Structure 1
């Protein structure tokens, strides 16, 4: 990634710090959200689509903690818990029926230690199922190649994100009635 040069960064920071804290915080939150939205849109464009859940789960959030405004682009683990596996890939591994998912094979009747038959439902719950096919208690997964979508988004669009941040700062300062000079042409 090429280094990003922001002209007037020190002056802009000093000016923003001279504003009331609430105004500075609101301006920076809006600006960082605009920059993060650029990265979010690029990540959504880069994500491999299967069901679309991973694409929909990529969100922007902002926060303010200990005097620092932050913006985050992340996936919602409730919607797409597997996002890290898509980004980084997986090694070959075994998939087993979890012990917590295995019912007791033999059901006890009212008398202690007297066993009854194993039901078909119990047998099916001891096997992994893909679609309507029961496979067995263990499957050898070949692994998955990485399909990065977050990191390349940052690498390719960080300059555009910085431009979006500065444009939003300029827009919000103008809205507050503060005269903002036009950006310097390069």
Structure 2
């Protein structure tokens, strides 16, 4: 029976990943490409980003205002602008694209179909197990 649940969990996790890739910010780059099913079992799945997009947690959870200091250079610079030795970053608003993708999928007809397929598989397995027991 665990195999049935494991397939269901992987199906759900894969669909959440697909939704996350659709709604994640940044049309190009590693953030979208890197959303994956990291692990799964008959009980749970872990989805998210790997080391390819180490900044993903800052996008997903946001950041508080903070100070950025130059480490290996004399000044901070980006896109031809020089900012100085340190800058006050205003923080970033959270964009919980993984959570939003999970909620979107759970409220979709795709999840309803996945649950129906699971119920049918469990029912068929139970019927077959009962038939086997009756033959012995």
Output the TM-score relative to the length of structure 2: 0.71
Q: Per-residue displacement from partner, 1:23-48 (whole Å, max 9, x unpaired)?
A: x33x3322211111111111111111
Map 1:23-172 onto structure 2 (within 5 A): 24-25=2-3, 27-64=4-41, 69-76=43-50, 78-98=51-71, 101=72, 125-159=73-107, 160-161=110-111, 163-164=113-114, 166-167=116-117, 170=120
SS of match in other structure, 1:73: strand
Structure ID, larger Rg: 1
Q: More helix by proportion, 1 or 2?
A: 2
Residues paired across the two proteins, number: 124
**Displacement after TM superposition at 1:154 (Å):** 1.8
Q: Per-residue displacement from partner, 1:47-100 (whole Å, max 9, x unpaired)?
A: 111533111111013344xxx543221111x111111221222222110023xx
Output the TM-score relative to the length of structure 1: 0.55
**Whole-angstrom CA distance in 2 between matches of 1:148 and 1:138:** 29
Structure 2 unmatched ranges of 5 or more: 130-136
**What is the match of residue 19 of structure 1?**
none
